[in-house]
Structures are given as structure tokens and as C-alpha cells.
Amino acid sequence: MPTKRIGLYPGSFDPVTNGHLDIAERAFKLCDELHIAVVANPSKNPLFSVEERVDLLKQTTKHLKNVKVSSFEGLLVDYAKEIKANIIFRGLRAVSDFEYEFQMALINRNLHKEIEVVFLVPNEKFIFLSSSSIKEVAKLGGDVSGFVPAVVKRALRDLK
């Protein structure tokens, strides 16, 4: 019997952007079950709490059946083992992402031999998007419509 493809799309998602959702939709099509997991890493000093980030992801991925949104602490590969994921999905926007992602993929593979890392390329209209730039634009009063879903836009506005 073919192995069930259980995908894990991890990230900080602080907050989720339209670029993340584009990757989630692509990953969703490639596996039988998709987990989107928010890393609980307080050292990154996130703008939104883990609970808020999970909640925003849940609201914005409702249309994708069989997607589970959760959070994890510690090593990504340990969480992958816990949920029996056999594919890790990561988005690649530009060459500048590559070195960090390549290093992380190889470390993860050394830590967990059975996991496969799959890089997905977003629609080119999201190539320039990052959560950090969105936070800066929102903080300085710019319009983030088109970059993030409406619920995220509201959440950013409510922070002010």
C-alpha cells in the first residue's frame, strides 16, 4: 500500500501572509494530510502570540479540508516524528532564501533520515513578501491589503 503523504509546513507565521497561504495551498495539493505548525520560539520576539498566530492561520485556511493547524516547541524533526509527517514543505522566494533553507534541510535530514524536504515556489506576485516587511508597513500606517488576508489586516490594526 502506498505510504500516506503527511505534510508539515512549519514557520513563524508572525503573521501569516498571502505568500504563506499560496505555499499552503500548493502543499495541500501534494499530500493526503497537511499540518501547518507555528514555532513557539520566544527568542524571536514575535509580534503575535503563538495562540494568535495559530488562530489567524486557522481562520485563513478554513477552506482547505484536512489541514490541521498547531504549534510546536523544540526541534522541527521531533515534531515531524510526533505527527508522523514524512514531508516538510518550505517556501523559496529568492536565491537569498536558498542558503539558509539548504542548510536547514540538510541538518533536518541528518537528524531524521526518513523526512523529505520539499521546496515550493510561490506565485511571483508574492516573491517580495515577508512577515517582517508587512509588520513594518502596518506599523508605519501603510496599507497592507493585498499582502495579507483581511483578518490579519484587522489584527495588525488592532495592535496599534
Catalytic positions: 20, 44, 93, 131
CA dist list (Å): 154 to 47, 94, 151, 159: 14, 29, 5, 9
Distance of closest approach, residue 1 Cβ to ligand PNS, in angstroms: 30
Nearer to ligand PNS by C-beta: 57 or 156?
57
Nearer to ligand PNS by C-beta: 5 or 81?
81
Q: Angle 128-36-11 (CA atoms, 0-180°, nearest 5)?
A: 45
- Strands 87-91 and 6-11 turn out to be parallel
CA distance 146 to 22: 13
Distance of closest approach, residue 108 Cβ to ligand PNS, in angstroms: 6
DSSP string spanning 57-110? Answer: HHHHSTTSTTEEEEEE-S-HHHHHHHTT--EEEEE--SHHHHHHHHHHHHHHHH
Per-residue binding letters, 25-54, with ligand PNS (x by CB under 6 A): --------------x---------------
Interface region with ligand PNS, contact rule CB under 6 A, candidates 8-16, 26-34, 50-58, 138-146? 8-16
Can you tell me which of 4, 32, 102, 107 binds ligand PNS, judged by CB under 6 A?
107
Instruction: Give the binding site for ligand PNS (CB under 6 A).
Output: 10-12, 39, 75-76, 104, 107-108
